[in-house]
Amino acid sequence: MMVSTMSTCSAGHVLEWKSQATHNSLPWGNLTTAAAIFFSGSNASKVIRLFEILKLQTFSKRTFFRIQKSYLVPSVVEVWNFERERNVVERLGKQLILGGDARCDSPGYSAKYGSYSLMDLDSQTVLDIQLIQCNEVKGSTHMELEGLKRGLLKLKAERLNIKSLITDRHVMVKKFMKGEEEIIHNFDVWHFAKGVSKKLEGLAKKKGAEAIKPWIKSVSTHLYWAASTSANDGEMKLAKWQSLTRHIRNIHTHPSKRYPECRHGPLEDNQRNWMEEGTCQN
């Protein structure tokens, strides 16, 4: 909140004083406070309410949203467009490995908006973001696929060479990428491991399957290890992953020619509660 005074002396001289500098009629303090609220992701209504409780003079919600619309959002858009154009130019002629994922404004099947981001995984730089509204597609479950389509189309139009794309196991995305033969489509191991862990956690809650619970974290770690140590060798990844069913039974040699033996050192029998064949069949 800015304080402004105007005084006139007996000789008729007028003195105007302001507690802070202004840009035209906008106090800089209002702009910086609004920017702090906006860029920190805070809720403007709650912050202004807190100021009122603390008896701190500040602007109204209407003023905040006016500043947001006139100054803050245009600034973000201008910086994003500048940085994005530079990032695209820097990657012309290079083979890119991209990661793609969607985020919706609410979980489940009731989302109204969804954003889809494409990131250069080598530099962890976001190259494109597409915002989709639910009524633009058949339903909220279709927003992820539409965001991916628009993002790839835009990057291709900008002459970027996309060698590989890594996504989650979204059914519609998987089907669409089969038609994009020039792009290698891989699944993100984080999403895959998360899905496996959830299924094991659910199974471990069933009667007679309690022995699974101590192994859940190790199974997830093993999945990461199998993916990260096998490069693009799909057969090796599968062989390492399948070795898990013998490893948890304290058997460390395997029938696979690609991965005939575990690579860890000697293990003590009391290190783990080894499982027995036939455990948790139901």
pLDDT for 197-256, tens place per residue? Answer: 999 999 889 888 888 898 999 999 999 999 999 888 889 999 999 999 999 888 899 999
3-state secondary structure the chain: CCCEEEEECCCCCEEEEECCCEECCEEHHHHHHHHHHHHCCCCHHHHHHHHHHCCCCCCCHHHHHHHHHHHHHHHHHHHHHHHHHHHHHHCCCCEEEEEEEEEECCCCCCCCEEEEEEEECCCCEEEEEEEEEHHHCCCHHHHHHHHHHHHHHHHHHCCCEEEEEEECCCHHHHHHHCCCCCCEEEECHHHHHHHHHHHHHHHHCCCCCHHHHHHHHHHHHHHHHHHHCCCCCHHHHHHHHHCHHHHCCCCCECCCCCCCECCCCCCCHHHCCCCCCCCCCC
User: Could you tell me the domains of the chain?
Assistant: 4-86 (no CATH), 94-187 (3.30.420.10), 191-271 (no CATH)
Q: How many residues does the chain have?
A: 282
User: Which residues of the chain fall below pLDDT 50?
Assistant: none
Retrieve residue 118's tokens. 């494409």
What's the pTM value of the predicted model, to 2 decimals? 0.75
What is residue 271's predicted lDDT score, i.e. its pLDDT? 59
pLDDT in tens, 134-154: 999 998 889 999 999 999 999
What is residue 280's predicted lDDT score, i.e. its pLDDT? 61
What is residue 93's predicted lDDT score, i.e. its pLDDT? 93
What is residue 232's predicted lDDT score, i.e. its pLDDT? 81
Retrieve residue 80's tokens. 């994003």
